[in-house]
A = this chain, B = another copy of it.
Amino acid sequence: MNDKTTIYDIAEKLSISAATVSRALNGSTKISSKTRELVLQMAENMNYEQNKVALALKSGRSKNVGVIVPHINRSFFSNVIRGIEEELSLSGYRVIICQSYDNAEKEMESLNALLNAQVDGVLMSISDLTSDLDFLLSKTIRKGVPLIFFDRKKDINGVSTVTINDFEGGYQATQHLINEGCKRIAHLRGAKSLQIYNDRCRGYKQALIDNGLEVNDEYVLETKSKIEAGTEAIKQLMKLPNPPDAVFSSSDFVALGVIKELKNLGIKIPENFCVAGFGNDPFTEFMEMPISSVDQFPLEMGKIAARVFLEQIDSPGEIKIEKKVVLSPKLHIRKSSSKKP
């Protein structure tokens, strides 16, 4: 009933040593072609399959990499993971996924579990909360396990990062709204503890400044990435004495909430109000009111993160230079912000 054949079984059947079997299977040159043939034949017959766990113990490489994301059931993250898996499976790596649920403690637990499981590398997008991951992260680096941040990064020595230029994304979206003739552009941003949101916000402000528009702090609100947060935020903004005529949101879901509520209020989009989101979530494209949004190229981001990992793992020397890859975002202009025909 138990099916597993080992090299010892093959060795016994052929009355040779396990070492020879191993060499034959691994194509060592130090072996006669007759023995090689015999071994390969017997391995085939006995349905031999290499036990990767034994190999991992011996070699110190498990051929597993860990990926930690806040939630896998979000379009952005599942696409990044897809990219990672697509790329790494080609090199024989398997991808172990962990969810942090935007919880720093869970995140540390996951990282720890992955390291104990002897993963060959960790690719992660850090959680929403500022936390003291540093100890664990530096341990990871010390262990020589390549660590790569994607999207949500932290600037740490020895850690490679793959991100998009969030500043540019924020700038592009805002510049576009200005080009459409909007004068009072609000910004709905994510948590201050994450660089990406700070960068997008900086881009937004810079675009305003570069175009001679006033930066009004009343126009900048922090929201969660949820539809309801968008409806709440826009309600609040529209109560201002001088309400905005456009919103640039760091989240597509928030942008959607904004649009829903504006419809409720009877405000015409895009004629009297323009909206742009961030993330280019698939739904932004196929809504009846397609939403302009900044593409983060999650699939590509995943693939590049995977390639950075492969480079690190293949680098012969112990001195690993971290790599910082920054992708250019691309604004997709859609109806929600297209006043011009």
Contact = CB atoms under 8 A, between A and B. Distances in A.
Interface of A: 1-4, 47, 49-54, 56-57, 62-64, 71-75, 78-79, 81-82, 85-86, 89, 92, 94-99, 110, 112-118, 139, 142-144, 227, 256, 260, 263, 282-283, 286-289, 299, 318
A85 B56 contact: no
Given A96-B96, A256-B286, A3 B142 contact: yes
A89 B82 CA distance: 21
A227 B86 CA distance: 24
Contacts of A110: 89
Copies of this chain, tallied across the complex: 2
A72 B78 contact: yes
Nearest to A77: B78
Given A72-B81, A116-B52, A117-B52, A142 B1 contact: yes
A82 B86 contact: no
A82 B49 CA distance: 31
Contacts of A287: 287-288
A96 B99 contact: no
Nearest to A227: B286
A87 to B, nearest CB: 12
Contacts of A86: 99
Given A51-B116, A116-B52, A286-B256, A96 B95 contact: yes
A143 B53 contact: no
A288 B299 CA distance: 28
Given A3-B139, A3-B143, A286-B256, A94 B73 contact: no
A267 to B, nearest CB: 15
A124 to B, nearest CB: 15
A178 to B, nearest CB: 27
A107 B86 CA distance: 13
Given A73-B82, A89-B98, A118 B51 contact: yes
6 contacts: A4-B143, A63-B117, A94-B113, A96-B97, A227-B286, A288-B288
Contacts of A97: 81, 85, 95-97
A51 B282 CA distance: 42
A115 B301 CA distance: 29
Contacts of A51: 57, 116, 118
Contact of A85 (B4, B72, B75, B112): B72
Contacts of A85: 72, 97-99
Contact of A57 (B54, B115, B256, B288): B54
Given A73-B78, A75-B75, 11 more contacts: A1-B318, A3-B139, A54-B57, A73-B299, A86-B99, A92-B113, A94-B113, A94-B114, A95-B97, A263-B288, A283-B286
B49 A116 contact: yes
Contacts of A72: 72, 78, 81-82, 85
